[in-house]
Structure 1
Amino acid sequence: SSSSSSSSSSSCSHSMPTAPHIPTLSPAVTKEVVLKSIRSDLVSKAAAAAGHVSIPDLLEEQSRDAGARDHLSRIRDRVSRIGSSISQHTSNYLNHRHQHQHLYQHQHQHQ
């Protein structure tokens, strides 16, 4: 039974579909594109299967998701800005200390 399972898994890996139409940008963008296409495909399939689900409900749900995504991206931008300003301040401080280190040492020797 173990040999048959191994052969089935190898055939499975060979039949993996390639997706050349996905634009090769950053990994995050590609993942976003893939997830979005999968999600829209699932939504349309679900709508076709459920029949009674109204399109406006689906659209409203998608707009809610988009709003949440916008909110998250805004938070991400703010966090990265804060992080870069912190690193900037840190490097400024270290440069300043390095430039004036002989002054600090001089003062300490006199005390």
Structure 2
Amino acid sequence: MEYGRGVYLSKKLKYEGTVSFDTKLYLKDNRGNEITATFIPVEKIELIKMHVNRLEIRVFPSIVSSFTAYIIMGRKPMKRLADDIANRVNLKKRFLFNEWRGIPYIR
């Protein structure tokens, strides 16, 4: 499923493309090819925070490593994307916050 144009930011990486989410979360370039540097393993997402114009995604691929990725896009598609990720990964929404967390969120 595609959510429109977006920008991926992580550490010193910045990519622009179409945000796609099916079995993984990634960006596609103008020709429709996957940008592999933007791959986010969906089952390893433990926290999603929705800010005014960006979606903060904290990923813990292993016990000793983690990274934070930001996706900048429009407000409505960003809300749909956050809801779809939360439903797929079974994250719970915090009351009165735009934040979804995994149940055993201890970090």
TM-score w.r.t. length of structure 1: 0.20
Question: Higher Cα Rg: structure 1 or 2?
Answer: 1
Q: Which has the higher contact order (CA 8 A, sep 6+)?
A: 2
Higher helix share: 1
